[in-house]
Amino acid sequence: MRTYPLQGSINLNAVLTMGQTFAWKKRGEWHVGSIGGQVVRVKTENGGATLIADAPDDRPRRYFDAERDMQALRREIALRCPRAARAAAQFPQIRMLRQPLWECLAGFLLSSVNNIKRIARIVENLSQSLGGEQTVGGQKERAFPSAEAVAETSIESLYALGTGFRARGLQAAARAARDGELDAESLRRAPMEEARQTLMGLRGVGPKIADCVLLYALDHARAFPLDVWMLREMRRIYFKGEERPAAEIQAFAQARFGEFAGYAQLYLYHAARMRQRG
């Protein structure tokens, strides 16, 4: 068992179900998921200020960004925009995940024209069929399938697991990851736009999926993912509801928030999501 005191705190249920990832399940007081092909389970203590991980190694430290000073980050956002500052203050336990490239890319490929519940169901189907069996907390669980496993699975079998039209893009990405055409460290070091174009060269990867992967897997903190719903929210907040193209809104957000653009997006998105739920 590993213990990570956090600089700040985390609401695991919110963070793991808000759409950053689709591969975690609730098991009593624990959340069970896969990090780089390794099944782990996590929970919190002390009001979310301490993360407890049942894992064979230290990978949860990076995944949950345990050493991030969240209070300092929220101060930086507050200097740039009062609206984003209010969202950050309202939901201080929201934290960005730092995911392995393949698992993040696969999840967002499956998110195309989909909702969180259905994406999670497809991920579960893939894991049960193609993921390795491991034991955690005395229970047998399945890891998220490796790129190799997906690459070697027929399109027909992927369709049967519920991937639908996303199957070919998922398989193509798996083969690129397996064959070394996608290197996480190279994409992290590359200028953000260059890394974005590399990702968008993959079948099924458009601007929104690329930006999610840049942000949640490749540490490009200026990335600002925009789907139709978030475009509407940005227009409402900053442009008085006026129609503005996505490129203009993205440039506006990156200019205003700089290296904190991704976190600003996360807070604004979650605040709008909670407001919509009442």
Kindly state the tokens that stand for 216: 């949640």
Give the pLDDT band (50/70/90) at residue 275: confident
Looking at residue 274, its pLDDT comes to 87
Looking at residue 276, its pLDDT comes to 80
Looking at residue 238, its pLDDT comes to 94
Q: 70-87 burial by CB neighbour count: b if 16+ within 10 A, else e?
A: beebbebbeebbeebbeb
Name every residue whose Cβ is closer than 8 Å to that of residue 104 and which is 6 or more positions away in sequence: 21, 212, 213, 216, 217
Looking at residue 213, its pLDDT comes to 98
Looking at residue 68, its pLDDT comes to 96
Give the pLDDT band (50/70/90) at residue 9: very high
Q: Is residue 59 predicted with pLDDT exceeding 80?
A: yes
118-160 tens-digit pLDDT: 999 999 999 999 999 999 999 999 999 999 999 999 999 999 9
Q: Is residue 41 predicted with pLDDT exceeding 90?
A: yes
93-124 tens-digit pLDDT: 999 999 999 999 999 999 998 899 999 999 99
Quote the percentage of the chain above a pLDDT of 70: 100
Ordered DSSP codes for 32-76: EEEETTEEEEEEEEGGGTEEEEE-SSSHHHHHTTTT--HHHHHHH
